[in-house]
Amino acid sequence: MNRQERRLSRRVLLRRAGLFGLAASASALLGACAGQQATPTPAPPAASPTPAAAASPTAPPATPAAAASPTATVGPAAGEIVIGILATLEGAFALYGEEAVRGVELAVAEFGGAIAGKKIRLVKESTDATPQVAREKARKLIEQDKVDCIVGPLSGDEGLALRDYAKTIPDKTIVNGTSAAQDTTLRDPAPNFFRFSTDGVQWMAGLGTYCYEVKGYRRVATLGEDYSYPYSQVAGFLLEFCRLGGDCVAQFWVPIGTKDYSSVITAMPSDIDAIYVILGGADAVNFLKAYADFGGKAALIGGSSTIDQNVLETKGALRERVIGIPGAMPVAADNPDPAWKAWVDAYRKQFPQGLSTPSLFCWGYYVNAKGLLLGLQAVNGDLSDGQKELQAALAKVEFDGPTGHIKLDKNRQAIANNFVVEVAEGPDGNLYNKLVRVVEGVNQTLGLPEDKYLALGSFTRDNPTCEKIKQTFGS
Amino acid sequence: MSWPQFVTVTLNGLTLAALYFIVAIGFTLIFGVLRVVNLAHGSLYLFGGYLGWSVADRTGSWVLGAVAALFVTALAGLLLQLGLLRRIHGQELREALVTIGVSIVAADLMLARWGGFTYDFSPPEVITGGLRIPLLDIGYPRYRLFVLAFAIALGLILWFVLARTRLGITVRAAIDDRDMVAAVGIDVQRLFALMFAVGAGLAGLAGVIGGSVLSISSGEDARYLLASLIVVIVGGMGSLPGTAVAAVLVALVEQYSLALFPTYAAIVSFLLMVVVLALRPQGLFGRPA
């Protein structure tokens, strides 16, 4: 080591920090290349894929991106349809991503791995739940992997990014994963972005009413992560709760990945009946733990991801803290519907190492993939003419999924059932979401008049307030 | 902010500082002696947490889990130092790349072994539950106070070892001038290996202690690496009192901002780092280059 560097050197550190940044981006690049895995679909016999089915002479005039892509212009006779899965397979949401991929694989297996004789090939790509990376990875799927359609993304802000990206690739089709920011389809929607899953506002249908009428809560505070999906969730809850006469006295928004909630809990007002909590994954676990440690008195109300199956399967002492928390989501573990039971059986059979009950992430990717496959079936796998026929067919797709009937509205957004649930302990000791109420056919405005609803404006960290909801719709 | 709330938030800050201190002290020791910025430090933290949880789950003893985490991660650190870092000693670029590489590989291996689940510890009942603070009439979790006491004890032990023992004198001499220490006949390589093992072991132990305050899940490695970096940059690389003071500063700033303006809490600790770097680039207790 030379003389100048003998002392503890700031420069050494800074240079190394620079190297770290450099290396981190280099590794991200490497990861981008290595992360792509072609998944053989399980069911079909090895129909030999014809990867370079050269652009057929009848191919339509294509955009530059598509022109460079042989598989993008395959005619009906060509061998395969390539579907890209965009999900978060790393970091704090890794488990959600695993569930997402299972959902797509489940749907593909249901169709025997092929549509109209064309083999379906899946290409997985992982995001880190940020909009920038989601867009970048979607571009990679379209431009390098030459996928025909994308299923994804997983998280709220990513969905908004892909809606905007979808507008730049009109001859490709994106169906959502579980991304649930409402504005993705409500405001300024993209004509080739379809969402067969319901959004964060719809996922709250029934909960505000249940908390007000059955639980008797009148004053609540809310706590959520600071991005588009929790904004939708809080709004969805307040839309019902405030119209009935409830009050929201304080709102807290914390950065994603906040570890230590002790000071937020201390800052909660003491004269409330309940705290509405919408945090995902480890954030939810950390909050629940701190809340119990600090002897929190107010009851808790769970957003859809706060009491999702992924959180309920936390290893360790969490269980006493979550039993009895009410919440709402598009799935309920003990749904008596035979279609749900059959679906859960199929899940357990195909993924013995999976969760005890499929999570809402599995459901979201499943229904979206299924919608896409039904659309593909309707056009016999014909992706010519810039996928126009496929997109027209997708808009008309209606089906009975594991949680009931699903159809799309004029913005290509699902209208579907929603479930009010309560965390309970099953006979096998596993925690699950016990069905309390079914709310049928929930549309994007929760049945409220659309003009008034749109006049509320985009949901943000301070919109809508309880007062505004009461003024707009009358309490 | 009311008086009891102020006290609680301050306690939150101090107990979080204790956790940051336990994580960052290993990082700063390794840098101080070896001049290696160990970017796999977060991975050692996470590995210790997972391993401690598994051992505690099998044996039913949280203490055993913590002890296992300490020794096994120390061993892992030793292997990392002897197997990889020793051959490239002094080559900054390679050291940085190798430790990043290790952390990426380790993150995926741990994801494969422990999955994406969140893991929640159950510490012994003696140190869990609530404690009522007299006069103010507020409850405070006993475990967080235990972490504070533990960090203070650890700091004192380290201070004693560094200030009063032969080993400590050697270490301090090595921090000041390694060439000279080697020249007087001390086996520097052995010292390096030992310090790396100690630093790594502390990271693993922190995984259990910290995992019990919060929880353990994939992605924590990057968070704690970042926390350690901020703490040692503010405090000055390689300085024990610097690490302690910086941990308190960073954690208090974080907790007050979470209580007062939660939305912007994420940027405030970085602002602190920016201010320190602008006014005192070597860190609060670091020595100028």
> Is residue A239 scored above 50 in pLDDT?
yes
A304 pLDDT exceeds 90? yes
Q: How far is it, in rounded angstroms, from Cα B117 to Cα B269?
A: 28
Residue B288 lies in a domain: no
Q: Per residue in B223-280, pLDDT tens?
A: 899 989 999 989 988 788 899 999 999 999 989 988 888 778 778 888 999 999 999 9
Q: pLDDT value at position B289?
A: 55
> Taking residues B186-198, what's their average pLDDT?
90
Q: How many domains does chain B have?
A: 1
> What integer pLDDT is reported at residue A19 of this predicted model?
46
Q: Look at residue A75 in the predicted model and tell me its pLDDT.
A: 35
- Look at residues A96, A90, A292, A31 and name the one whose alpha carbon lies nearest to residue B220: A90
Nearest by CB to residue B92, choosing from A15, A97, A252, is: A15
Q: Is B108 part of a structural domain of the chain?
A: yes
Burial class (CB in 10 A: 0-12, 13-18, 19+), A109: middle
pLDDT of residue A139: 96
Q: From start to end of A199-309, where are the E strands? A: 219-225, 247-254, 274-278, 299-302
Mean pLDDT within A436-462: 94
**pLDDT tens track for A365-422:** 999 999 999 999 999 999 988 999 999 999 999 999 999 999 999 999 999 999 999 9
- Strand A414-425 and strand A404-408: the pairing is antiparallel
Picking from B12, B115, B260, the nearest residue to A260 by CB comes out as: B12
Q: Report the CATH number at residue B102.
A: 1.10.3470
User: What is the average pLDDT score of chain A?
Assistant: 84
Mutate to test the interface with A, among B131, B217, B255 (most CBs of A within 10 A): B217
- Under CATH, to which class is A64-198+339-412 assigned? alpha beta
Same fold, A64-198+339-412 and A202-329+417-473: yes
Contacts of A20 in chain B (CB under 8 A): 37, 39, 96, 100
Per-residue pLDDT tens digits for B73-120:
999 999 999 999 989 988 889 999 999 999 999 998 998 898 878 898
In a domain, B190, yes or no: yes
pLDDT band at A50 (very low <50, low <70, confident <90, very high): very low
Q: Percent of chain B beyond pLDDT 70? A: 98
Give, in order, the Cα–Cα distances in Å from A28 to each of A21, A92, B37, B96, B101.
10, 17, 20, 15, 11
How much is the ipTM here? 0.82
Answer yes or no: do B120 and A294 touch at CB < 8 A: no
Q: Residue ranges of the domains in chain A?
A: 64-198+339-412, 202-329+417-473
Residue of A30, A263, A291, A461 to mutate when probing chain B, most B C-beta within 10 A: A263
Q: Which of A142-151, B161-170, B180-189, B227-236 has the highest mean pLDDT?
A: A142-151
What residues are paired with A37 via a beta bridge? A124
Per-residue pLDDT at A35: 37
What percent of chain A has a predicted confidence (pLDDT) above 90?
66
Structure confidence at residue A11 as a pLDDT band (50, 70, 90): very low
Sorted by sequence, the CB contacts under 8 Å of residue B86 that are 6+ apart come out as: B189, B192, B193
Provide, as residue numbers in chain B, all residues whose Cβ is less than 8 Å from the Cβ of A10: 237, 281-283, 286, 288-289
| Distance (Å) from the alpha carbon of A144 to chain B's nearest alpha carbon | 24
Give the domain range for residue B246: 3-279
> How large is the average pLDDT for residues A339-362?
93
A314·B116 Cβ contact <8 A = no
Q: Which CATH superfamily is domain A202-329+417-473 in?
A: Response regulator (3.40.50.2300)
Helices and strands, number each (H, E), in chain A: 17, 17
DSSP type of residue A285? H
**What are the distances in angstroms from CA A260 to CA A60, B140, B271?**
56, 14, 19
Model confidence band, residue B288 (pLDDT cutoffs 50, 70, 90): low
In this predicted structure, the answer to whether residue A40 has a pLDDT above a threshold of 80 is no
Chain B contact set for A316 (CB, 8 A):
53, 119-122, 215
Angle at A353 between CA A351 and CA A359, to 5 degrees: 70
Residue B139's beta-bridge partner residues? B132
Task: Measure in Å the smallest separation between the Cα of A254 and chain B Cα atoms.
Answer: 5
Calculate how close chain A gets to B201, using CA atoms only, in Å: 23
Of A263, A264, A286, the CB nearest to B215: A286
pLDDT band at B139 (very low <50, low <70, confident <90, very high): confident
Flag if B254 and A461 touch (Cβ within 8 Å): no
Best residue in A1, A8, A226 for a mutation probing chain B (most B CBs within 10 Å): A8
Residues from chain B that touch A96, judged by Cβ atoms under 8 A, are 116
Residue B287 within a domain: no
A78 — pLDDT class (breaks 50, 70, 90)? low
Nearest to A317 among B122, B178, B179 (CB): B122
What does the pLDDT average to over A429-454?
A: 93
CA A444 to chain centre: 16
C-alpha pair distances (Å), A409 with each of A152, A368, A390, B103? 19, 15, 17, 46
Determine the Cα–Cα distance for residues B118 and B141; give it in Å rounded to an integer.
Answer: 21
pLDDT for the residue B115: 81
Task: Name the residue in chain B with its Cα closest to that of A99.
Answer: B116
Q: What is the pLDDT of residue A10?
A: 44
Question: Predicted confidence band at A202 (pLDDT cuts at 50, 70, 90)?
Answer: very high
Candidate from B39, B116, B130 with C-beta closest to A94? B116
Please judge whether B265 and A17 are an interchain contact, meaning their C-beta atoms are less than 8 angstroms apart: no
> Bigger pLDDT: B225 or B289?
B225
Lowest-confidence pick of A126-140, A350-364, A426-440, B250-264: B250-264
Highest mean pLDDT pick, A114-128, B1-15, B163-177: A114-128
Give the model's pLDDT for residue A74: 39
Q: How many CB pairs under 8 A join A and B?
A: 193
Q: Is the model's pLDDT at A244 over the cut of 60? A: yes
Average pLDDT score over chain B: 89
